[in-house]
Amino acid sequence: MSTTAVTREASGPLAQGAAAAAHAPLDEGTKVWSEKVGGPGRVVPAVKFRSLEAGAKLLSPKNRILLRTIAERKPQSVTALAAMTGRAEQNLLRTLNKLAAAGIIRMHRGDGRARKPVLAVRKIHVEIDLLKGWAG
């Protein structure tokens, strides 16, 4: 059984129009929460996105494959993950830092100076109340 925690409910005016809403900060009618990896009693990290578009971009198909690789193959370093995925290490590290800043992965210390990516959440949920925040 997994635990679900609401980790962010942003406030602010609801952006007008679909294009503006995609780039707008999360509004008061939008909630983002996550389900942790592991059993009950583990801390659920906050998952944070600047906007729905930023979250969708960060969770692209290519990055979801990367996250699955981290979960299933448990690389011991960024170098090992780069070899597993065929991605350039510098570009991979940039992506991993964005995923860590969002709370989707954690970067642990590995052997020596190595940094080890670890999946922090199993699922991310976005709930949009289409009626909340509208004055009209």
pLDDT value at position 21? Answer: 40
pLDDT value at position 52? Answer: 86
pLDDT value at position 84? Answer: 97
- The answer on pLDDT for 101 being more than 60 is yes
- The answer on pLDDT for 4 being more than 50 is no
Whole-angstrom distance, CA of residue 86 vs CA of residue 9: 37
pLDDT value at position 34? Answer: 72
> What is the percent of the chain with per-residue pLDDT over 90, rounded to a whole number?
46
pLDDT value at position 115? Answer: 94
Of 37, 114, 121, 118, residue with least CA distance to 80:
114
Strand pairing report for 4-9 and 121-128: unpaired
pLDDT, tens only, 22-70: 445 666 656 676 777 765 555 555 688 888 889 999 999 999 999 999 9
- The answer on pLDDT for 12 being more than 60 is no
Domains of the chain: 4-128 (1.10.10.10)
pLDDT value at position 96? Answer: 98
Rg (CA), the chain: 17
Q: What's 40's DSSP letter?
A: T
Mean pLDDT of 85-102: 96
